[in-house]
Every structure is written in structure tokens, then in C-alpha cells.
Amino acid sequence: MRRFSEAWKRGDLTALDGLLSASYTHVDVTGLVQDRGEWLSLSPGRAGLFKRRLDVHDVQIRVVGETAIRTGRVNVRSPDQAGEPSIESVRFTDVWVRQDGAWRREICHAAFI
């Protein structure tokens, strides 16, 4: 999970690709559902996302067998269209699975709060 966050901050799509399961699903704050390929293909077009500052809070992790569930809140700080500072708060749930000795992100669901 830490490697995923670090790769996201760097905008390292190769590292992100290696940390996703083959059946990865992403549900963003608008309700858009994307499979692994869609999420990865759209990420380069969201280069501005990688420049946002993400402050993660209230993180809880539960491990159940070969599955880890991470919940938390993230404050996304970025300039709005006028260049003024903007903060959006998002709740998230990530599910990670242990496959072939490595943890892979299986699903992410995010919602504005």
C-alpha cells in the first residue's frame, strides 16, 4: 500500500501497473466504474492528478486471510480553475489480495464527503 502511494505521487504508471491485480476495478468519486486497463489508460491523461497533494487520514487496515481492507479519508489539495487553492474530501475503501506472494490492489471505491 505504501509502494502504491509512493508510485502515485511520482506518477509512475509502470509501478502502479505492477501493483494492480489482473481483475482490478476502480470506482471513482463520480461513480464511474473502470477495469484495470481503462484506469491505467486514463491515468496518463490525468497528469494533473499526480500533482495534487493528498493528505490521508483515519486509515484503518484489516487483514482477513489473504485479503486486506483499507479504509480512510483523503483531503485532495489542488488549485481550482481560477488557480485558487481547493480542498476536496474523499472517503475510500481499498481491497488488496495476496497473489503469488505479493499484495495487489483488487478494488478501490471513492466517494466525496
Mean pLDDT of the residues in the chain? 89
pTM of the prediction?
Answer: 0.86
**Side-chain half-sphere exposure of 14, counting CA atoms within 13 A:** 0
Domain map (residue ranges) of the chain: 2-112
pLDDT of residue 54: 79
pLDDT tens for residues 57-110?
999 999 999 999 999 999 988 877 787 878 899 999 999 999 999 999 999 999
Q: What share of the chain is helix, strand, coil (3-state, %, to 5)?
A: 25, 55, 20
Q: Are 73 and 93 in contact (CB under 8 A)?
A: no
Q: Distance from CA of residue 46 to its chain's centroid?
A: 13
d(CA 37, CA 34): 8
d(CA 107, CA 34): 10
CATH architecture of 2-112: Roll (3.10)
